[in-house]
Amino acid sequence: MDTFEAIKTRRSVRVFKDKAIPNDILEKLVDAGRFAATARNVQPWKFVIVTDKVTLRKLAELAENGRFISGSAACIAVFCEETKYYLEDGCAATQNILVAACAEKIGSCWVAGEKKPYAQAVSKLLGAPNKLKLISMIALGYPEEADALKVADKISLKELIHWEKF
């Protein structure tokens, strides 16, 4: 899939088929995260790929807005060392994973991590070292609905873009 097509068609998907994602595809998605923009090339990220159904259910129980994680085939937890721009770097990695998932016809949904009350519990569940901050959890799976990756309505470019100043 073309890069711009993946960017334009990426959607949040919360209902997934009961179908495993091959490990090589999951590694490919993390590799996309690894190549994200990073301030001063610090690359503060670490990734945990979760496919175990019991752990997916526990993650869903912890994240009040991520209950659908329990029905996903996998979840990638994005962690970063606390550097000056760790949140920006981790969010860039998360976005790369989301777009790469779309390119692979895999549905995804970003679940917040940083500053959420469950962040410490998720970190503990996944055995993360204390020096790492949970940035996001990305639920992944093959979409249950055929039109889940259909283009959504967006505000027109003309309404958003300004040249030189407002």
Which residues fall within 8 angstroms of residue 163, CB to CB, at 6 or more apart? Answer: none
Q: pLDDT 10s digit of each residue in the chain, 166 long?
A: 899 999 998 999 999 999 999 999 999 999 999 999 999 999 999 999 999 999 999 999 999 999 999 999 999 999 999 999 999 999 999 999 999 999 999 999 999 999 999 999 999 999 999 999 999 999 999 999 876 656 778 899 999 999 999 9
How far is Cα 96 from Cα 90, in angstroms, rounded to an integer?
Answer: 10
The owner of tokens 């991520």 is 66
pTM of the predicted model, to two decimals?
Answer: 0.95
How far is Cα 112 from Cα 29, in angstroms, rounded to an integer?
Answer: 18
Domains of the chain in sequence order: 3-160 (3.40.109.10)
Given this model, what pLDDT does residue 147 score?
64
Given this model, what pLDDT does residue 64 score?
93
Closest alpha carbon to 8 in 141, 107, 152, 143: 152
- Look at residue 138 and give its three-state secondary structure: strand
What is the number of other CB atoms lying within 10 angstroms of the CB of residue 122? Answer: 23
* E-state strands within the chain: 45-50, 74-81, 107-112, 132-141
Given this model, what pLDDT does residue 150 score?
67
Given this model, what pLDDT does residue 153 score?
85
Given this model, what pLDDT does residue 158 score?
94
Given this model, what pLDDT does residue 15 score?
95
